[in-house]
Structure 1
Amino acid sequence: MSEERLDSLLIENLIDNLQEVFFLFNQKGKMILWNNKVNQVTGYNNAEIIKLRPLDFFPKEEQKKINQKIETAFKTGKASIDANILSKEGELFPHLFTASFTYYKNEPCLYGVGLDIGDLQQKVFEINLMLNNTDEAFVILDKSFRIISFNQKFEENYFHLYGKHVSKLDNFLDLAKEKHREKLTLMYEKVLQGEFVTTESKILSPEGKLLIYDFTHKPAKNKSGETLGIFISAIDVTEKRKAQKKIRKSEERFKTMMKEGSDLIVILDNEGNYKFVSPNHLYYLGYSEGELMSTSSFSLIHPDDLDRIKDTFKLILVQKRVTAHPYRVKHKDSSWRWMQSTATNLFKDPTIGGIVINSTDVTDLVSIQKKLEANYELYNYIQKASNEAIFEWDIRTDIFTWGESFERIFGHDFDNKVFKLKDWIALVHPLDAEKEKNRWNLFLADKEQVKWTNEFRFLDSKGVYFFVEEVAYLVRDDSGEPIRMIGSIRDISHQKKETIKNKLLSDIGYFFKNEEKTILALEKSLEYLSDMCDCNFAEIWMVSKDRLSLQLYSNLESSEELRRFYISTKTQRKFNFGEGLPGKVWKTKQALNLEAKQIENEFIRAEGIKHLKLGMLSTIPLFYNGEVVAILMLGSKNSGKQEFYYKMYLKSLEHFLGAEIIRKQQQEELNQLFDNAPDILAVADASGHFRKVNPAFCQLLGYTAEEITSRPFFEFLHPEDLNTTNKEYRETVSGLRKADNFLNRYRCKSGEYKWISWKSSEIFGEEGLVYAFGRDVTERIE
């Protein structure tokens, strides 16, 4: 066999053993050489391939751009392109092609390879998904102020504001207005010298809205500290500035309240001397701040009240909070003013370091109280004029007298019935009554206590609970025994609703943030809601992926009656669209609140409903992007309660809980992708550690994830690879470029070394993290 023939066979053998697609064709488009990989990917045999043109291996919609690249390669000597190979069976396989010009047998030809990038495209998609889902826009410039890189947020914001697209290698100064360019140039030169510069810019959006952006300019350096360019980040702080403005107004309002408010505020040391005096003392008592500072607060107390106040002061030194019975304080004009005070021990608070006394001038109230005792008719006029439900309780006879507003606000009519303390307790929510029982008993027993405040749920005549605030004053006889109470209750449901709603959303959000699985977060949420809303029945039904049915996803089984219910209805774990209460609410997208009789008619699982004895059932749709994704069902034995809870704060769950469910499911799916990837996946930080590694990496090296992430990854490298890896790593984490098929050796737990081919993502996140993608190529190299 001739030497020429041996060379030819060697070349053919090398080509056939390539892992990538190999091709060679002439200027007329005739296929001359190809390897077995072409047959495997396209599905054509050699007899078919030789009759095809290169363009025939690609979809029609891609042929034009591929032809342009072929012409470029023949003219310039080289070209590359991402394109999909179209197989004989019509399947598409994404490849990265690189073609080069050559002469083959004295004929101009193109030869090259196609690299399968199907898996790479998916990984790049995931990386871009994480990189481009940040609220912060950023761009990196070189020393000539040309754009090297930018994220999607920057591109979107610039196009929205100016209607133009940006491209890499554009000069960043060209994007600015001409009058600003000189100033920007000077600033960028300072940044290149090592300065960090922050600026604020106000930009008018196309919609006419004034936007405020915070810009941060800092040197872009590699690991060795060399400045390679400028890193610029920008974030929309419009809403933040509005919030700061509100805070400033709030602080100004607080200062005004301190100066103009009716409450007198002082801070005392442990001897009772003034450390702080609110400015309004001048208005109410005639003393300036300077006149009272460092003097004893006891010097202004009426002699008849002094001993009692000193005893109260001793209590606050060992208790958190004490309320003082009304006492007299001397005005600068020598008159006496009645004060009602609450003292709070804040010695442990470093910002206070003393006893805070909040005092209210109750001189008029005391005067009114005395007049009421002398003239009961005046008291009746006050009740008629008030918008709050005013009451008087004769403690000795246990008889309440209500003002006219009680029936107007809560609907109860006790004109022809004696109202006693047991009637009051019957209208208070049982949980609230039990919670405050001990505090109430202590209040009555403390002879110094006269002011009572409380918040609780109060039942109206329609069976609906309202949140109310009670403020009352206790009248005691000379021995301190309670004889009468005068006070009022007012509806605060609206304010309370917002407070409870915010706590509800915060607590539910906490479950979804801290639990690993959606099912665990929902179990915690159902337990929380059942306790909060006094429920004995709770379920979550999830809409299937194909959106054709509902599946029972999570439910409470905290009692024997619930277990019997689910045993008797075990075959009913699925509803179609419009079927059953969950399906009906899915269809109508409207919540349903049903009472006992309606439940019996509407509840398909009638066989099991007898075990629950529900008096009220709420079925609530949970939304994501306007579509129902789940159904929440809550039931209680007590009728009327669920509708109250729904109106108060459960309605806020409709969109919040739906979004949390979808977000958690998406997070689980991403974790599954990471954990089950067959290739090596890792997240590297700028300190030389892997932050996270997938099971494939652990399996290859034989270490646990903790063993790999707890040590610098340089400790696992082959000694001969340290310098090259260190150089590659510095350039990668500095953002200069991405790793592409970089090879090094990692030591396994067994002591052997594995060759790994690495690719990396661009840096992302505030900590400068990088995604690393690796493949074990030991067998190929060795």
Structure 2
Amino acid sequence: MNFELMYALAEHSQEPMLLSSSRGDILYVNPAFCELVGQRREAVLEIGSAGWMHLLAETREIKEHLRADGRDAKLEANLWHKSGQKIPVELVSRSFSTSENHSYISVHVRDLRAQKDAHQKLEAQQQELKKAVRELQLVMDFSADLICTFSPDGEFLHVNKACLAILGYTPEELIGRNYRAFIHPEDHAITEQDAVEVIAISKTLNFKNRYLHKDGSTIYLSWSSSLVREENKIYCIGRNISNEVANQAKDKHNEYRLQALLQEGQDMVCILDKEGSYSFVSGSVIHAMGYDPQELIGRKPFEFIHPDDVVDILDEFEQVSAGMDAKTPPFRFKTKAGEWRWLETKGVNCFHHPAINGIIVNSRDITERLQAQRQLELSEKMYKAVFEKNPDFVYSLSPSGYFTSVNAAAISCIGYSEEEFLKMRPRDLLHPDKLKEAEENFVRIKAGESMTTETTVFNANGNKVHLAVTKVPVIVNGELIGVHGIAKDITAVKRQQRLLKDTANRLKNILESIKDAFFTLDKDWCFTYMNHQFEKSLGVKSSDLIGRDVREVFPSERYQKFYAKFQRAFSLQHPTHFEEYSYILNEWLDVSAYPSEEGLSVFIKGVSARKQVEAELKKLSLVASKTVNSVYITDDEARVEWVNDGFTRLTGYTLEEIKGRKPGDLLAGPETNLEKVSVIRQKLNYDKPFVQEVQNRSKSGEVYWSKLDVTPIIDDLTGGKKKFIVIETDITEQKRAEEERTKLTEELLRRNRHLEQFTYIVSHNLRSPVANIIGLTSLLSTSDNPDMQKGIITKLKQTSQNLDYIIRDLNEMLSLQAGVLEEREKIMLPTVIEQVLQELPLDGGSTIRVELNGVGEIGSIRSYVSSIISNLLTNAVKYKSPDRPLCLTIQAEHHQTEGMVCLMVTDNGLGINLKKRGQKPVWPLQTIPFPCLWQRIRAIPGKNPSRSPGRICNR
């Protein structure tokens, strides 16, 4: 079978299947599998690296269920649907290997939902059957009728206990004996005839005969017999009709009574003939449906049944017509008034009964019951909604204290799954300190007491959770059947309460530790709190004053100005701040009063020392205001309190604009960064004067330099608080002069370095072409060979042209040093190398190899590059070995990682004798390459995009 056909079969298969690697990675899924889990194929394949076991609801190790021998392995599991639903499935997996020794696993999935549902229904039916058997046994044991089984030859096989009441014999006395021994002698013949009929047609009904009682009296019995051929038994029910026979005269009276029962009963009884028409209708239909029985006779019930219910009722009618008893589902029946009423009907086929010859239909109006049932269902749905959607932890407990149900909020709050909850008790979650209390409370709840308590539990992560729990016992018929509980997570509330308590404690500690006197009054001007400083300052005790009116303790005539301010704060509900001199304390007081809904909070501190300092500062400010320099005064946090006119002239800011602000935040210039401002503020923490130069920016945006002379003033009378006097001097012109001197010095040093470099280049670059010209002219004067002279003249031209290039490069270098040329030029590296090689004095045996590896145009200073290459090649020729021909290699490589172009010149010359120089050799040879000379060369952008700044080196 080819691959396309196999793929088509898998794609169109109704059976979900997938293919995975031996590690569990999903390689293929068919559409049926995607439909089963409710996901697109791409989404399923995206989790391939996680393994297809990721789709299982339970954690399993697939290796435990797979066999390496290739045989099928089956297991049942649950797959996750996209909606979150668990789908029961049977997985059949087989591992196999390809010819390339690749291992795979094919998995076929069978949806077990229908099977599970059928199994549950079967179990339910079996339970119903067991129940029916038990009920049947009870019926048989307590039935007033004689129920028994016979063998075909008439031997009793089983008899119920009714035989004692009917015949006077116990079941043990009858079982094993033939029924003929107990029949009235006159009824032997008809009994034998009925026995033959039972064997022939398997059933007889209402056969009557007489039995002899143990005491010798005659008992009339009516029999219904049925032969079960598979069991080879005859099942019989015998009813004692002795009284009926004795009371035949009363039958007519009983018939009237029955008619009255049918007329006035709640159930409607009717008979349908073979055509499905009413042949009899009880009188109860009058008050139930409003019809007279004669109005329905001859009409079909389907005329009155709701059209939506007719199909179901027809099916039931056909079943009853076929001989089966049936109970219809509720259906709607139209009353004479046009109202639809819900009926529940049971039909019994009685065509075999001559007196009935039809189907007995017993109907009952269940409209009110259905309405009550729907109301109950609505109540249950509402309860479930309250239970499941409740944001609090809702749960139920069994009488033994185990969880029987929990809502989603409980799972979210505590972190355990529902399955884990149902195996636990609340005590399993409790803090050990709460166990004893919980046990006592549960005893009270079992006694019928509802209660609300607070407790502490541990969640699945081991964290504490505080809960407020309300527990209500559920008692039915005086018996506890469970406990219903609602727990509210109060962890945040507890944390807040603890925080408030800690805050209150901290606040009290703060109020007690502050050096200011502090007290609070309620709305009646009575003390509610005072700190230790208040007690100490006024010589009072809080225990004597709490609850007393402040105006009684401290007379109004002495503190009239204070009480006036307090009254204003109370009236306007606005804080007030004032300074007042107390003649009683002989001190200036700074008072702040803050009104609130509870009363008034008052802070009082002595400021006599500050008043003295302020008086001194006023004198100093008078002097400072007249000085030419900028002067300003700050508080201990470096906020400006006062500036003179010189500050305004220098910065452009007035006192109103800068008061309360830090100078560094407003005046810092471009070079006065946060770090420098931080250094200045750090120096303010010390008690020593200092000088600092800063760059500032005035209000108009002008940048200037200032020298700050900062002097701290320590005030011991106010607890060591500081103020700072700052004298600011404009040093802008001084800084400019310093900058000019610095620039001039740097320019002189730069020119000196360039001059030294120029001298070096002149001494090296001009020497080689001049020496070549001298040598060539000497050869020209001594040679008579025309070809040789022609070659010498050509060489002289090339050497002269190269000399011209060098002189021009020197001129450009001089221009560069003078600041005329600032940018590098574009240089073709192959051309520069060719020009240098033309000037190189080589003999006939020399070999030159040039490998530039694609490096062409670079950006640099032409004279520098030419001089470097010329020196490297000249050194190679100068120090060549006399023992071998010169072999010279020029290579260029682009190093992308280092961002460079590396030019390497290698030769087989003499090298350097390290032993002679007293150095340890680092190579096995006695000589090493010539020392490297490094020069950075910038590549020209756009010409060689893969090239970057590189190195020229000689070795």
Question: TM-score over 0.5 for the alignment?
Answer: no
Q: Larger RCO: Structure 1 or Structure 2 (Cα < 8 Å, ≥ 6 residues apart)? A: 1
Which has the greater radius of gyration?
2
- The two structures have a TM-score, normalised by structure 2, of 0.27
